[in-house]
Amino acid sequence: MQAGSRTLFGWCAWDTLFLPELLGEPVRVRSVSPDGTEVTLRVAAGGVRERSHREMVVTLPRPEQCRVEDVQVLSTFCRFIHFFTDPEAARSWAREALEDALVLPLVEAFRLGAECNRLRFGAVLGSER
């Protein structure tokens, strides 16, 4: 992801949706979905501003698949989280990869990230507004 002149990296697709608010600046994201399709988007603190595919979605693990005490975030959480061009592409990947992932519209995945930011960093974020 590009934030101004800096190139930054997220562990998963979802990171690129909630990090702009924490960074205090918009980012441009380029990612390749597991099916090989390139997706691009522009994300700011207030939401997704541009996207390369109108029906873009994000896959997330189901809550019962996550354990709070698990420190292996990349292998137990992030491996489920990808951008896809549309819901059918996401469901097809989930079937083939034997993953029982949730498929969320991009806007809902952004809102979930914003809510997590509020829960974890609300006092700090509130003082900057």
Q: Quick one: what percent of the chain has pLDDT higher than 70?
A: 91
Q: Is the pLDDT of residue 124 over 50?
A: yes
Phi, psi values for residue 116, rounded to 5°: -60, -40
Listed by start position, the domains of the chain span: 2-124
pLDDT for 122:
78
pLDDT reported for residue 118: 86
pLDDT digits (tens, 9 = 90+) for 55-98: 999 999 887 766 656 667 777 778 889 999 999 999 999 998 87
Query: Which CATH fold topology does 2-124 show?
Result: Beta-Lactamase (3.30.450)
- Render pLDDT for 29-64 as a digit per residue (tens, 0 to 9): 999 999 999 999 999 999 999 999 999 999 998 877
With a CB cutoff of 8 Å and minimum separation 6, the contacts of 21 are 45, 113, 114, 117, 125
> 129 is written with which tokens?
């507004």
